[in-house]
Amino acid sequence: MEQKNVPCCEEEVVHPDAVARVRSQLPEDEVLYDLAELFKIFGDSTRVKILYALLESELCVCDLAGLMDVTQSAVSHQLRVLKSSKLVKFRREGKTVYYSLADEHVVRILSQGMEHIQE
C-alpha cells in the first residue's frame, strides 16, 4: 500500500501551553473508549443499512429481512447489536415486534455522516 506524505513540523518543538490546554479538555479514557466502541457499530454496512431503513420507517424483522434479502436470523443478530448500543428501540404489537431508531441522536449521526461523505 502506497503511503502518502503527511505534512509535519520541520522542527520538533512541543508547545506546552497548547498541550496542557487540550489535555485539560479531553474526556476520560473510558469515555473515549465508549465513543470508539459506538463508532465501531457504524463500521458494518449491514447495520448501517438497517439504520437507514429505520430512518424511513418503523419495521419488523420480517420486513427488514425482505428488504435486505437476508435471513431473519441475520437481521435479528444485527438488531441485538444495535439495541445493545442504544441505537434502536422496539415495541411489541401482538406477536410482532417493530423496530425504530432510538432517538434523534441516531438520525443526526446518520445525516451528518452522509453529508460528510458526499462533500
Please report, for the chain, the start and end positions of each structural domain, with discontinuous segments joined by +: 16-117
Specify the CATH number for 16-117; select among 1.10.443.10, 1.10.10.10, 1.10.3720.10, 3.40.50.880: 1.10.10.10
Tens-of-pLDDT digits for all 119 residues of the chain? 556 788 888 888 999 999 999 999 999 999 999 999 999 999 999 999 999 999 999 999 999 999 999 999 999 999 999 999 999 999 999 999 999 999 999 999 999 999 999 99
C-alpha cell at 55: 430512518
d(Cα 88, Cα 92) in Å, to the nearest integer? 14
Answer yes or no: are the C-beta atoms of 68 and 46 closer than 8 Å: yes
Closest CA to 100 of 45, 61, 71: 61
Phi, psi for 67 (deg, rounded to 5) = -60, -40
Q: Please tell me whether residue 14 adopts helix, strand or coil conformation.
A: coil
Quickly tell me which residue has 489535555 as its cell: 23
